[in-house]
């Protein structure tokens, strides 16, 4: 392909004067009328007469020559406060070679240019609040500027944390742009948190004014409306519109609009600062505002992580977290919120075995008193007015037991789980026996490796090896991972005990681990000490499962206590609820029995009495409630401002805490038969309008079911028109 001959040559001499701190070289660029760099050269400043020569195909029109620091790129150089000279349109009128007058560089620029474009390095760590690392998180850094409550962010880089939550970021930062270019390159948004705080600090006379909706671009009109007319700066135009990035706008029009805006803003600044004297803000109007000369960026960070199957924002810094004027080498520690998936491993010393948690509940919060009434219950003795039901809780169904599996050491290939049942009749423990395969569930652990596929999930499945029911140790499966890696989910799980399989009676159990080394298919037990005296290789857990249908419950379809298919009531005594009778007591003492689906006429002085049952066969009742629903999404609580008559030693409540204050002995609360009377004075509130009312009676048990928050409950309903 033929190359077009370049017939014109433009030489630009550089005069460095007698500067002692002159750089060894400079960058010289030829820029057209639109600010685009046509050519640039790096010119050594040594020698008698440094110069740059541009070879051109045609004479440039409206061009200028720009001189700046060598390390500025072409795009930045054309927009920075550089030394420049215009190229006359007739420079090639006589010859096709021309030499401009020398561009003189004052000593001021040599010192200033050293700071114009510099390389910055940020190193840091992303941690969870407990100090664990956050792997595989995307860390994005933004330079940020504020004009009052308007915010402008410029992303300077994004990197990903490694297995230890560490990240490393480098970027080039250039400052001293021409003000109009700086403005043109920025986009704006409202910082609503800052807006709320600033407006709250406005004087009362300003806050009572109707505040117009802020525009995403800084608007001096809005600010001027807050300032009393008598305090407006004089001799300046007040009709300054927001400066916008209009497509096709000329450089000259951009210069004029930004100059007018900045001039007016500086005049308003001291007046507004006095009007809202909040010195803690390092932004306009409380500080002079020349962001285009900010040679050390002000940073905020935003961190996201792919966690639990979705991308979550785990850190989003605002004004209060701004890191101002960072140095060229900067280190930062970022603390993620509770949404982050953290590395869970903890350091280990010598090989050891320990059980530390059940369902994420620390061992210390589970009663370990051998044979005591609270043995194996979570949060023993913790019932209070602020903790009405979350105390003295047994466990149920699939129970996740945790510890320090990473501390078993290299000689452990498998481990076995054994259990022992406490006999309350003899106050003795039974012999330890292995938990069968059918009562152990598989579980998974997720790892961050930093490889092409950074997230890897391994399944830990119980199996039979050499006659033992065992789980593989972490070491056994983790050898397949690409190094380096970090476990971040499921790391501390030891086993999942499936207690609802029918092979386990309700009661109190001890559980422990036995570790084995695999020697050619034969398992050799490894005797390992506890990792910590406070967390030995043994734990006591009480279980309370329910079976549906319950043999102790009335048969399904029994009139007056319907349960099972086609009903809202479970055939269970754990717990059980039943609306046994409803009575309408007239003012003259006459009593009418309210039947389900019956229709009854309202009369002055009426009261309603409801007999109901709320109990738990295993005496782990948590609470019960009784409401009347009616109309559209409305209800009345029938247990407040009414008369509650309990029939029996355990018929207390309606919460476990209140039952304890009424004479029930922890941890057993069975509940019982109760009568609630709605007095005449409360009828207008509890049954306010002629309508169909449905009584909803619920009861809850205390067991922690499958390590989740929902508990065993039961529901009974009874409706009538009144």
**CA separation for the pair 340, 348 (Å, rounded):** 24
* pLDDT tens for each residue of 682-703: 999 999 999 999 999 999 999 9
- Better pLDDT: 174 or 99: 99
Question: Residue 581: what pLDDT?
Answer: 96
Backbone angles phi, psi at 129, to 5 degrees: -55, -25
CA atoms within 13 A on the CB side of 49: 9
In this prediction, residues 354-372 reach a mean pLDDT of 92
Question: Residue 437: what pLDDT?
Answer: 96
- Better pLDDT: 104 or 236: 104
End-to-end CA distance of the chain: 97
> Do the Cβ atoms of 87 and 63 come closer than 8 Å?
yes
Cis peptide upstream of residue 575 (ω within 30 degrees of 0): yes
Tally of CB atoms within 10 A around 284: 22
Nearest CA to 112 out of 293, 280, 238, 260 is that of 293
- Better pLDDT: 225 or 496: 496
Question: Residue 207: what pLDDT?
Answer: 64
Strands 355-358, 398-403: pairing is antiparallel
Question: Residue 4: what pLDDT?
Answer: 61
Any bridge partners for residue 402, and if so which? 357, 493
Whether the pLDDT of residue 210 is over 60: the answer is no
Whether the pLDDT of residue 239 is over 50: the answer is no
In this prediction, residues 279-288 reach a mean pLDDT of 78
Tally of CB atoms within 10 A around 556: 15
**CA separation for the pair 669, 475 (Å, rounded):** 46
In this prediction, residues 490-515 reach a mean pLDDT of 93
Tally of CB atoms within 10 A around 259: 13
**CA separation for the pair 217, 242 (Å, rounded):** 6
- Better pLDDT: 282 or 128: 128
> Do the Cβ atoms of 12 and 55 come closer than 8 Å?
no
Rg, the chain, Cα only: 39
Burial (Cβ within 10 Å: 0-12, 13-18, ≥19) of residue 307: buried
- Say which range, 14-28, 158-172, 441-455, has the weakest mean pLDDT: 14-28
Structure tokens at 335: 């603390």
- Better pLDDT: 661 or 212: 661
Question: Residue 236: what pLDDT?
Answer: 47
Instruction: Report residue 85's pLDDT band, with 50, 70 and 90 as the boundaries.
Output: confident
Instruction: Report residue 388's pLDDT band, with 50, 70 and 90 as the boundaries.
Output: confident
Question: Residue 510: what pLDDT?
Answer: 97
Nearest CA to 81 out of 67, 64, 70 is that of 67
Question: Residue 1: what pLDDT?
Answer: 47
- Mean pLDDT, the chain, integer: 87
* pLDDT tens for each residue of 248-259: 556 677 777 788
Identity of the highest mean pLDDT range in 189-193, 280-284, 361-365: 361-365
């Amino acid at each position: 392909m033929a190359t077009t001959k370049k017939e014109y040559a433009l030489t630009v001499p550089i005069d460095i004067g007698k500067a002692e701190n002159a750089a060894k070289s400079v960058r010289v660029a030829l820029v057209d009328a639109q600010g685009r760099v046509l050519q640039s050269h790096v010119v050594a400043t040594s020698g008698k007469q440094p110069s740059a020569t541009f070879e051109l195909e045609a004479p440039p029109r409206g061009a200028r020559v720009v001189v700046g620091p060598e390390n500025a790129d072409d795009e930045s150089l054309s927009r920075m406060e550089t030394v420049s000279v215009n190229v006359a349109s007739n420079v090639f009128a006589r010859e096709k070679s021309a030499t401009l007058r020398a561009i003189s560089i004052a000593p001021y620029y040599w010192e200033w240019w050293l700071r114009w474009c510099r390389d910055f390095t940020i190193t840091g760590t992303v941690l969870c609040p407990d100090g664990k690392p956050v792997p595989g998180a995307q860390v994005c850094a933004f330079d940020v500027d504020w004009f009052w409550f308007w915010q402008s962010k410029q992303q300077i880089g994004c990197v990903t944390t490694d297995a230890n939550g560490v990240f490393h970021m480098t970027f080039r930062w250039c400052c001293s742009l021409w003000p109009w270019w700086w403005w043109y390159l920025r986009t704006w948004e409202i910082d609503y948190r800052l807006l709320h705080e600033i407006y709250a600090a406005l004087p009362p006379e300003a806050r009572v004014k109707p505040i117009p909706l802020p525009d995403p671009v800084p608007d001096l009109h809005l600010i001027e409306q807050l300032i009393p007319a008598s305090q407006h700066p004089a001799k300046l135009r007040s009709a300054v519109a927001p400066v916008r990035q209009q497509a096709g706008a000329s450089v000259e029009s951009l210069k004029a609009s930004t100059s007018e805006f900045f001039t007016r803003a500086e005049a308003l600044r001291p007046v507004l600062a006095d009007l809202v004297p909040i010195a803690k803000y390092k932004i306009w109007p409380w500080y002079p505002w020349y962001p285009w000369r900010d040679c050390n960026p002000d940073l905020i960070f935003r961190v996201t992580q792919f966690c639990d199957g979705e991308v979550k924002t785990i850190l989003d810094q605002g004004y209060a977290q701004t890191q101002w004027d960072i140095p060229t080498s900067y280190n930062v520690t970022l603390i993620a919120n509770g949404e982050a998936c953290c590395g869970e491993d903890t350091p280990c010393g010598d090989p050891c075995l320990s059980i530390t948690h059940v369902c994420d509940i620390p061992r210390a919060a589970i009663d370990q008193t051998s044979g005591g009434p609270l043995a194996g219950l979570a949060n023993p003795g913790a019932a209070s007015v602020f903790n009405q039901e979350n105390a003295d809780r047994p466990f149920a169904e699939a129970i996740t037991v945790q510890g320090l599996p990473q501390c078993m050491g290299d000689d452990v290939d498998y481990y076995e789980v054994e259990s022992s049942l406490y006999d309350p009749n003899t106050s003795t423990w039974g012999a330890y026996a292995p938990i069968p395969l059918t009562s152990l569930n598989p579980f998974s652990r997720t790892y961050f490796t930093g490889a092409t596929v950074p997230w890897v999930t391994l399944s830990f499945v119980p199996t039979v090896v050499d006659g033992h029911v065992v789980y593989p140790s972490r070491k056994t499966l983790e050898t397949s991972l690409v190094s380096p890696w970090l476990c971040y989910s499921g790391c501390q799980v030891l086993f999942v005990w499936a207690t609802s399989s029918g092979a386990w009676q309700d009661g109190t159990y001890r559980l422990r681990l036995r570790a084995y080394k695999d020697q050619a298919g034969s398992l050799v037990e490894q005797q390992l000490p506890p990792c910590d005296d406070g967390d030995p290789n043994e734990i006591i857990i009480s279980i309370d499962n329910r079976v549906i249908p319950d043999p102790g419950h009335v048969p399904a379809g029994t009139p007056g206590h319907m349960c099972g298919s086609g009903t809202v009531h479970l055939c269970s005594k754990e717990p059980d609820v039943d609306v046994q009778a409803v009575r309408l007591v007239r003012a003259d003492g006459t009593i009418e029995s309210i039947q389900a689906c019956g229709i009854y006429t309202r009369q002055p002085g009426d009261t309603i009495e409801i007999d109901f049952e709320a109990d738990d066969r295993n005496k782990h009742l948590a609470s019960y409630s009784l409401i009347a629903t009616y109309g559209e999404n409305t209800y009345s609580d029938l247990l407040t401002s009414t008369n509650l008559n309990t029939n029996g030693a355990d018929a207390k409540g309606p919460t476990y805490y209140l039952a304890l204050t009424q004479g029930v002995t922890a941890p057993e609360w069975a509940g019982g038969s109760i009568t609630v009377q709605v007095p005449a004075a409360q009828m207008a509130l509890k049954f306010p309008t002629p309508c169909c009312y449905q009584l909803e009676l619920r009861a809850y048990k205390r067991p922690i079911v499958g390590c989740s928050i929902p508990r065993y409950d039961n529901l009974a309903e009874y409706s009538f028109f009144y």
